[in-house]
Structure 1
Amino acid sequence: MKRWWHRYFRTPGELEAMGVVGINMRNARFVLPNNPRRLYDLVDNKIRTKLLAERQGISVPETFGVVRSPKEIRRLDRILGERDSFVVKPARGSGGKGILVISGRDEDRYIKPSGSVVSPDEVRFHLQNIIAGLFSLGGKRDVALIEDRVKPAKVMTELSFQGAPDVRVVIFRGYPVMAMLRASTRESDGRSNLHQGALGIGVDIATGRTVHAIHHGRPVTVHPDLKVPLIGVQLPEWDRILEIAVTCQQMTGLGYLGVDMMIDEERGPIMIEVNARPGLAIQLANGVGLLKRLVPTDARARQIPDEELREKIRFSRNTFAARMQEV
């Protein structure tokens, strides 16, 4: 008889049979051979990434200001003006650390998506922490970006508690191999960070329809706070999302990457950032091990080294259509 924990805890042999990729395998087999170190700064620096994307005709959030030193923090009131919503983020942050989202204003105070209140002094203190490198890769000094807050499409907000969900697409050698939606919960305080209690929702590469979901690593079918179904939801403009993801691979030259996007109510898909070391929870969100998709993709790329963008997308949609496998 299988014990209750068997569904959630697997032996190394079981994980290997299911094609689950761990950190060591990801780094040694996929990241290091395909991502030259000289290209990392193109994605580790969000300012450079946004410039590259704009040259490719990809929509990105408008930048209100860049704060590079403690002295420039004094310009905050001038940068923000009368804006009711904005996002503050480190240029070299990772894993969603250091991102402050403001969704409203109450006189001289700012309101986060969770409803908690932030004073102007707290925003300035947050900017100081970003510049000091508290959230940056390696703890090095950083600069802060102040951006427009995306106004997410209604179908997206219906799946997320007081926060704007984002879509991540993992690309390998120019082919989309796996995708997920990250949606916030009351527990995650409006953030889309899975480690803080957000939901990971697997998305079918072929159709853009949600097929599987997890909360703290365990399968769920409804949102824990909103009580809405999480499975069978069609994401809008899926063709464009895949096109942006593959274009981001071409513009950076990285062979293995994750592309994060949000879907704006008016502008459609907007590229938020590119990650040269995308996390592995996307496998749980989809109920499928990445190795089952990376191996056939590698074989295809070797067979047809110069395949066109649209053909790469066609191959992935035909090959990786969801079959509801569960990890």
Structure 2
Amino acid sequence: MKRWWHRWIRTPGELRAMGVVGINMRNARFLLPNNPRKLYDLVDNKIRTKQLAIDHKMAVPETYAVVRNPHDTSVLEKLLKGRESFVIKPARGSGGKGVLVIVAREGGYFIKPSGSRLTLDELKHHCSNILAGLFSLGGRRDVGLIEYRVHPAKVLTEISFQGAPDIRVVMLKGYPVMAMLRAATRESDGRANLHQGAIGIGIDLATGRTVRAVHHGHPIERHPDLKVPVVGVQLPHWDAILDIAVTCHEMTRLGYLGVDIMIDEDLGPLMIEVNARPGLAIQLANGVGLMRRLEPALERSQSHPHDSHDQKIAFSREAFGVKLSAP
């Protein structure tokens, strides 16, 4: 018998029975009641988020420079002096938009993970687009961050095509409810963004082992470019990753959020960003409807309002481990 994700068209009743959460339900039942509007800027502005993380003793990628105005863009060469690799991203970007990864320099050119070569003028143009708000939420004027490029742990580079994979953990009331790894493909140009062609890989919350993978919504067992297995991979530092996720809830006070983390080969887990409106594709990656995780977490928060940091992690690992994940 085929499972629910093998058929594209489902009735609303079937989706409810599967526990699938849609945009409207997410917004009405989980975002609005749990995320006060006044707290959004803590996570919508990556500069503020990074400072909060530093204040809470979390490791984050080093910031090399901030491009705040056209003058900073004009002296970009000076800001990049001595930097062979780096990432340029909008402070208020979302969905991976505007993130430019440079892995090396050759003469006057800057090399992307795909091997494409960019000139300094093209980098300046990209920064100008960031300042103009081309990639930011609501099209607001923005600033650009130039920061350390994560060098992924070897176990992750083996399952990602020329790009750094990241881990998304979705939280409710401080309880991790679902996690996935997003790995780059040739199509996604080194970006770990599912809408740009990356693959989503579900993770067992109890162990940090990958359990399922999808590419453009279709289940897969192997990476479409590298042809290596992407299911059954043990992620390193899983205890630390869950600890970071719960700390992000504590530092932002947001009730419903997504936390993005990368694992550096030398530095270990690094908190990349926090999202107050996490997407729903994580359900496809895990083959489980979010409602089956969110309702137990909500009930636990109401019955045990004084659960500690460690108790929240322990509950999630026990309640949402693979042994209980089958639909």
In 2, distance between residues paired with 1:130 and 1:219? 35
Question: How many Å apart are 1:204 and its aligned residue?
Answer: 0.4
Query: Could you tell me how far 1:111 is from its partner in structure 2?
Result: 0.4
- Superposition deviation, residue 83 in structure 1: 1.2
TM-score (structure 2 length as normaliser): 0.97
Q: 1:286·1:326 contact (CA, 8 Å) conserved in 2?
A: no
Normalized against structure 1, the TM-score is what? 0.97
Pair 1:188 & 2:211 matched = no
Change (3 A) 1:218 1:6: closer
Give, in whole Å, the separation in 1 of the partners of 2:78 and 2:72: 11
Task: Tell me what 1:113 maps to.
Answer: 113
Q: What are the superposed Cα offsets for residues 216-241 of structure 1, whole Å, 9 maximum, x if unpaired? A: 00100000110100111000000000
Which residue matches 2:286?
Answer: 286
Alpha-carbon distance in 2 for matches of 1:314, 1:234: 19
Size of the alignment, in residue pairs? 326
Q: Which amino acid is the alignment partner of residue 68 of structure 2?
A: R
- Partner residue of 2:100? 100
Query: How does 1:37-48 map onto structure 2 within 5 Å?
Result: 37-48=37-48
Paired residue secondary structure (1:71): helix
Are residues 220 and 324 of structure 1, via their aligned partners in 2, closer, same or farther at CA, if it must alter by over 3 Å?
farther
2:62 is aligned with 1:62:
yes
User: What's the CA shift for 1:326?
Assistant: 6.5
SS of match in other structure, 2:135: coil
SS in 2 for 1:38: helix
Partner deviation per Cα, 1:50-69 (whole Å, 9 max, x = no partner) = 00000111000100100111
Alpha-carbon offset, residue 9 of structure 1: 2.6
AA aligned to 1:205 is L
1:306 shift after superposition? 1.6
Partner deviation per Cα, 1:225-258 (whole Å, 9 max, x = no partner): 1010011100000000000000000000000000
Structure 2 CA distance for aligned equivalents of residues 108 and 22 of structure 1? 47
Q: Distance in 2 between matches of 1:125 and 1:323?
A: 50
Give 1:193 deviation, angstroms. 1.0
Q: In structure 2, the residue corresponding to 1:181 is in which secondary structure?
A: strand
Corresponding residue for residue 124 of structure 2:
124
Specify the alignment match of 2:273 in structure 1. 273
Is the CA contact 1:287–1:324 (under 8 Å) kept in the aligned structure 2? no
5+ residue gaps in structure 1?
Answer: none
Instruction: Report Cα offsets for 1:157-187 as digits up to 9, x if no partner.
Output: 1110000000000010000000000001111
Matched residues in 2 for 1:37 and 1:72: separation? 31
Q: Can you list the C-alpha shifts for 1:12-40, whole angstroms capped at 9, x where unaligned?
A: 11111110000000000000000000000
Q: Report the Cα distance in structure 1 between the residues aligned to 2:217 and 2:324, rounded to whole angstroms.
A: 17
Runs (4+) of structure 1 moved beyond 6 Å?
none
Instruction: Tell me, in whole angstroms, the C-alpha distance in 2 between the residues paired with 1:279 and 1:115.
Output: 30
Same amino acid, percent of matched pairs = 68
- The CA RMSD measured in Å over matched residues stands at 1.5
Q: Structure 2: state its 5+ residue gaps.
A: none
